Structure 1
Amino acid sequence: MMKRKAKWTYVILYSLLVLVCFWSMSVGKFYISIPDIVKTLLGYGTRIQATVIYAIRLPRILVAAFVGMALSTSGCILQTVTRNELAEPGIIGINAGSALAVVLLIASGGAFYYEKVSSAAIFFMPFVSIVGALAAGLLIYGLAYKKKKVTPVRLILTGIGVNAGINAIITVYQLNMSKGDYNQALTWINGSLWGTNWSYVYFLAPLTLLFLFLSLYKSRILDVLALGDELAAGLGVCVERERRILLVYAVCLAAVATSVAGNISFLGLLGPHIAKKICGLVHSRQIPVAAGISAIIIVASDMASRNLFSPLELPVGIAISILGVPYFIYLIMRVKE
């Protein structure tokens, strides 16, 4: 019965994701009807329809979907490893590490965010972002490591502290930037899908799918770790080793997502929590459901941010924060009860 329910959940959820993607491809300054989108995808559309879909809208939608999947999976892992339902990459400092690395790159005059450059150059900022996220993750783990182990409470508190410290450093660098560099850094830090293209899809998709499947492979370990360190150790799990491995997965997922879309907070919080209400705490079901939910949220939010304030474009990270902050407050109030 549970397997049948899970199967129907996947079918409904990912069908909804496809519908939202088609809707996002349809709306904009140049409207394209759903039948025309289908014709264009089958190779029978007009030249301008093909250009709008293949060169502009489709790669952006795919990047958004994979970013949502990566951040939600990272959130699932972090919430289990830290045993804190408020944990997510944007709160414990991983995204801040990426942001600091990119701000340092922009401040050095080596950024090319708005320029047409070679494919090798396109991947330079994501590479710097990933290095920043990994460095922040290593710093958090190192500071939380005590007496040959890392406790969940110490890990989450250390992450919050590191996040605050990194954001303070970012603010100092922003105050010393030129107006152009400041606007560039601010757009990236707030989370933006502007300027994405197929090169980012080719970079993001395989890495996201790789770590998503690795996380699913560890789903039973996550189920056991959710029971507590002592019980997990009693069941034969090497708790500290598995925690390190899972933290690497979480950091890498957050890093690849942040590297192409900037600092998007709360997406790793919303998807996992909604998934828990739909399918329970079993990670083999929770992770793919959370991935689909977060993908829907970010694709819909990006569609809204592109069109509601046209010709201005609201960074997608701000649109998601508008949804995430009230839910975060609700969770805090519930925990206090």
Structure 2
Amino acid sequence: MTSTRDLMTIGDFARAAGLTPKALRLYDELGLLRPVEVDEHSGYRRYAPAQLERARLVATLRLVGMPLARIEQVLDGSRADMAQAVSAYWVQVEADTATRRDIVATLVHHLRNEEPDMTLSTHTLHATFGTSHLRGGRDRQQDAYVATPELVAVADGFGDRDDLAAMALAAFGTGGLDGAVAEVAADITAGLPDAPTSGTTLTAVVLEGGTARITHVGDARVWLVRDGALRQLTHDHTVVAALIDAGQLTVDEARSHEHRNLLNRALAPGVVADEAAVDLRPGDRLALTTDGVHSYVDDLAPLLLADGEPQDVADSVAAAVVAAGEPDNHTVVVVDLS
């Protein structure tokens, strides 16, 4: 047992661990690293030397960019579990980095007015589709989707109107990629004089040759299956996702959070969409899901990675949502490229 005289002040402990006192206070608040003792009068924190190993592990994981919410999950396991979790995290980092590298290369070439290496993207790929579009436990269907050789998109409406998602997709299809989100937002605003609480998300993939050009606002998702791995290409625009990014909420906590479906970005005048361009390859699979799918099926990987025709895959995803109780409208579009 550590005696009081062996305890370290927060300053001494921070220097020994390679952290800052401010970071230690945050980790205390998050439950990552609690001090052994807190003076009830002064509030001074004291730590045991035996806690240095855990503190240094946290510092190292932060050094490689691991979010605090994920660090909490890592620390709760055995050493073998921690090793596996860190390895899995780094695989995801490398996959995400590869995607960003492609996007940055395209952007740099564009800014320099140079022609990028279009070895893959100049090839026109053949797309085969599978879709599922179900009302689920709702009285009304407010999801909409498009699946054509040029455009694959989903939208998820909310509020008093049932036609906003379809309106948004139609406007996007005629408006083109540049400026289309603003045009859609204007149409929605004009159509809502009596229902200001209504709106819609929009997530679209324009297929141009061998390139997928993504425009994303809201909490639908675009997934890429490549070489036996599943990668999410979009980021949810929700309050809960922002809390996870800030390290204030864990993924497990998010699943049951009372505001898990609360958007912090939807189509509206002046909205800024996330945009990205991704080179596609023969053998790739794209999938788009509304939140009625991925909010209730915890692990889509086995379903989206499965061999089979796109329609079979879409049907299996829908079946999993139904098995989970299908409380919401749910839409999935699966695209196989060859």
Structure-1-length-normalised TM-score: 0.32
Q: Which has the higher contact order (CA 8 A, sep 6+)?
A: 1
| TM value normalised by structure 2 | 0.31
- The structure with the larger Rg is 2
In proportion to residue count, which structure has more helix?
1
